[in-house]
Amino acid sequence: MRVLFLSAWYPYPADNGVRIRILNVLRQLAADNHEITLLSFARRPLTGDALAAVRCLCSDVRVVPYVAFQPGRLRAVVGLFSAQPRSFIDTYSPSMADLVRAECAAKRYDLIIASTIEMAPYALLAKGVPRILEEVELATIREQALQGPFVRRARYGLTWYKTARFVRQLVERFDACTVVSPQEHRLLAGVAPEYRHIAVVPNGVDLEGYPANLGIPEPDTLIHSGALSYRPNYDAVDHFLREVFPLIRRQRPTVTVRITGSTDGLDLRALPDAPGTIFTGYLPDIRPAVAQSWVSVVPLRIGGGTRLKILEAMALGTPVVSTPKGAEGLDVRHGEHLLIADTPEAFAAAVLQVLADPSLRAQLAAGGRRLVEERYGWQRIGQGLRALVRKTAGEAAQ
């Protein structure tokens, strides 16, 4: 069938969770021999490699420059008085809208997939075509409305109210929606209680891209992966360096932690100056750094979805120590697949335990890899996704 795929992120290089998911979804669609046209925003100029990596999956690829949300811009200020979230108003692209209209006028599509809520308004421009809204995430906005000082909670409370109302009206116009976890399913079902077409399609890894020979793990090394421009990651790193890492270094002064991800535009001086901390900057391929670390730390306290960073570490055989929030949405067991700790003291103790016990490390590494192979490989996840695509297009055609 012909599939029009709308994406807020160009999927290559697959260097963050959103891009990785989109690229794997496209691979699964291509595996069913669908003819895919990708219309995507691009946040950076595309190289020949980036175009080639996606064109091998899609029959046509077209991009529109992405304009980031700027709260002080006139459209954003006017959006304060709109029923819609103002970020949607400020970032709405007439160029993308024109591209979608032209594409639908030129070719008949059997299905439209809008990846993330940002692309939903563009999918609605196509009439008479079944639609899937892929990866609806609400938890981060909801949590921001419940945490922090009163002024912050009030501001995000308004954002949550607008977003929930917007999404409730939006999903009714889609034949199916996907979420990445049971927690996101419950949240969306609470926002749109009359809507009955929600499917859980979890995050996963392409196991062929995660071999076991990417390097020998170095003792006394920790790694945190994830862009610091994403607020939950920044909060996690700040909390870890401030509250947890000093406890670890007190017991093992030689321990280092590598903080990966681009730091462009960030003021690192606001983070604690913790000895043993290494900011690697952007790594084109993070897999060797994770594979060569003794422990992957996931000290997340806020955020939604499921943690691809945990699944990637497990696939590479690197044990994970996580907060309950970090492991949320994953079918994991403490002590078998990873260690879970909910206080700075417990988190530090768990990390120290893995650092000091090679047999425990080997046990967690094996358990984590086994879990990914059984539950979170895209080869398995893709079966459910492809069935949903066929069902949605088929039912709409009847």
pLDDT of residue 158: 83
Beta strands in the chain (DSSP E): 2-7, 35-42, 60-65, 111-115, 131-134, 176-179, 198-200, 218-224, 256-260, 277-281, 293-298, 320-322, 339-340
Domain with CATH 3.40.50.2000 in the chain: 2-204+378-397, 207-375
- At residue 87, φ and ψ (nearest 5 deg) are -65, -35
pLDDT of residue 396: 53
- At residue 10, φ and ψ (nearest 5 deg) are -70, 130
User: How far is residue 132's CA from residue 198's CA, in Å, rounded to a whole number?
Assistant: 10
Predicted TM-score (pTM) of the model is: 0.89
Which of 235, 303, 229, 310 lies closest to 262, judged by CA?
Answer: 229
pLDDT of residue 139: 85
Mean pLDDT of successive 10-residue stretches along the chain, which has 398 residues: 97 91 96 96 91 95 90 74 78 95 95 96 94 93 79 80 92 96 94 96 92 89 91 92 97 97 83 93 92 97 81 96 94 96 97 97 96 94 96 73
Q: Which residue has the tokens 């809507």?
A: 195
Residues whose CB falls within 8 Å of the CB of residue 337, separated by 6 or more in sequence, listed in order: 314, 320, 364, 367, 368, 371
pLDDT of residue 397: 52
Top CATH class, 2-204+378-397: alpha beta
Considering the segment(s) 207-375 as one domain, its CATH architecture is 3-Layer(aba) Sandwich (3.40)
Q: What is the CA 187 to chain-centroid distance, rounded?
A: 17
Q: Which residue has the tokens 């610091």?
A: 228
pLDDT of residue 34: 95
User: How far is residue 146's CA from residue 142's CA, in Å, rounded to a whole number?
Assistant: 7
pLDDT of residue 217: 95
pLDDT of residue 149: 80
Amino acid at the residue 138 = L
Give, as one character, the DSSP assignment of residue 344. H
User: How far is residue 139's CA from residue 187's CA, in Å, rounded to a whole number?
Assistant: 7
Residues whose CB falls within 8 Å of the CB of residue 264, separated by 6 or more in sequence, listed in order: 282
How would you list the strands of the sheet with 320-322, edge to edge?
277-281, 256-260, 218-224, 293-298, 320-322, 339-340
pLDDT of residue 305: 62
